[in-house]
Amino acid sequence: MNNEEVRKKISDIPRLIKARPWWKQGLLDEYDKSTCNTPRKPIIHNKRPFPRPCYECGKLDVWPTTIDYKAEVKHGGQLYKFDITGLQVIQCRSCNEIYFDAVADEQISQALEVIMEDSTPVFKPFVYYDPDGDCLEVVLSMDNFYGEYVNKNLVTYHKHVTDELVGLMIDNVSQLCKKITEE
Ligand SMILES: [Zn+2]
């Protein structure tokens, strides 16, 4: 390592210190350090008495309260928006800063579970054109089906056991359209 490299290394040090994660910056006196080896949100323990200090305005004026909350939670790559009435949080009466503790988090995840149970996708019949295969597919139900070749351009879909028609696929759509308009 030459001098230039050493100087570069040294100049990197302040940046490295600054980049240390918050849970290693001595900000955790309030929290149980033994549980903070991994990055996680601070947990505000319920056992601590009220009022508690406000990290926003510095006053000792944080109390438990309930709020109506518009939740936006990402889960499984999907964004869920829902209202929670009477969410238990703690709030500063001086500056109105709201803190979500473990109790609030638990309520939000419970509400999300209910929302997800209610939002099982409903099947709607659809028509789909695949430009690569030049085929048009019509699907009328989610039932398992088998395909039957009617001719080189048409496959019909039938439900197992009952043979009920539940969809079809038309091949060479652009050729067929051309033919129809020529006739
Ligand atoms: Zn405050």
Written as one string, the DSSP assignment of 72-140 is EEEETTEEEEEEEEEEEEEEETTT--EE--HHHHHHHHHHHHHHHHHTPPPP--EEEEETTTTEEEEE-
45 CA from centroid of ligand 1 (Å): 18
Residue 12 has pLDDT above 90, yes or no: no
Distance 17 CA to ligand 1 centre (A): 29
Q: What three-state secondary structure class fits 26?
A: coil
Q: In which order are the strands placed within the sheet that holds 135-139?
A: 126-130, 135-139, 165-170, 154-159, 145-151
Rounded to the nearest angstrom, the distance between the alpha carbon of 90 and the centre of ligand 1 is 11
Q: Read off the CATH number of the domain in which 101 is found.
A: 3.10.20
Q: What percent of the chain has pLDDT over 90?
A: 32
Domain range enclosing 177: 126-182
The predicted-structure confidence for 38-65, as pLDDT tens digits, reads as follows: 333 444 455 678 899 999 999 999 999 9
Structure tokens at 21: 């994660």
Distance 43 CA to ligand 1 centre (A): 18
Same domain, residue pair 135 and 175: yes
Question: Rounded to two decimals, what is the model's pTM?
Answer: 0.41
pLDDT tops 70 at residue 76? yes
Q: How far is the CA of 59 from the centre of ligand 1 (A)?
A: 6
Domain assignment of residue 29, yes or no: no
Based on the fold, state whether residues 68 and 116 are members of the same structural domain.
yes
- Gap from CA of 91 to ligand 1 centroid (Å): 8
Pairing of β 135-139 and β 165-170: antiparallel
